[in-house]
Amino acid sequence: MFVIRLCRATCQEEAKDLHSPLAVAVEVAPTIPPPPAPSTQPPPTDPPQVDPSPQLHADSSQASQPIPPTQQVEQIPITWDGQKGFKPDNNVCTQAISDVIELMLNEPWLNFSEVPVDVQKRWFEKWAEGFTWPQEEDKHIRKSFDYRTARRYQQIMRDLREGELQRLKWLSEPLRERLLHRFAIDPGFPKRSAVCKVNRASPKGGCLHTRGFCDHSQDSCTDGNTSSTLL
């Protein structure tokens, strides 16, 4: 019995020693590893940065350059020929008038006198973009333009009535039909057409008048006793 008690006391003493702070500290203390040996290899270097979009930089540098001015149309020097045309080349000027009519005609006007004044002005300004002349001839140049435009418009309407469609490919079909309809219902057209035929048959051509004032901007020639109208 005494031996058993002695064994128990011995075990209890050993247990107390195991739970003492010193024992616990010895058991749970971590093992610190030795410091690593210094590396003899050189540190890695970053690869050079490559611009992924060089074209964008090129474009931006080009965009910073000044934009050249828009090239202006070279104007042809002209003068008034003293009558109803232009110098030095009347054909160039009248061809430019035809180009303006083909570009800007958009209503079924039967003759140039029906074209509104503001539209006539825009036609003249468009035509004038290609020419230059002395300022003192402004009035004569404008009158010559109106006269030549009225004559050219007359020829276009004559081609339309006579079915010369090969010359009028530029004229849209809806506008062509509207013009023909207006000619069909215009009560004064037969009389004006007969007058124009007589005028064209005259050796002088154009308007048959020997005196009076011819207002080409209105496309008509009048005096005190006679009157003839260009169509």
pLDDT > 80? residue 137: yes
Q: How sure is the predictor about 188, in pLDDT bands with cuts at 50, 70 and 90?
A: low
Question: Residue 167: its pLDDT value, please?
Answer: 92
CA 151 from chain center: how many Å? 32
More confident residue, 26 or 172: 172
Angle, vertex CA 146, rays to CA 218 and CA 148, nearest 5: 120
For the chain, what is the radius of gyration of the CA atoms?
51
User: Among 33-47, 99-113, 126-140, 168-182, whose mean pLDDT is lowest?
Assistant: 33-47
Sign of CA dihedral 171, 176, 180, 182: negative
HSE, side-chain direction, 13 A CA sphere, residue 222: 6
CB atoms within 10 A of CB 164: 12
More confident residue, 210 or 177: 177
Question: Residue 181: its pLDDT value, please?
Answer: 94
Residue 120 CB partners (closer than 8 Å, separation 6+): 112, 146, 149, 217
Q: Whole-prediction pTM value?
A: 0.55
Question: Residue 145: its pLDDT value, please?
Answer: 98
Q: How sure is the predictor about 213, in pLDDT bands with cuts at 50, 70 and 90?
A: very low
Two structure tokens written together for 231: 């169509």
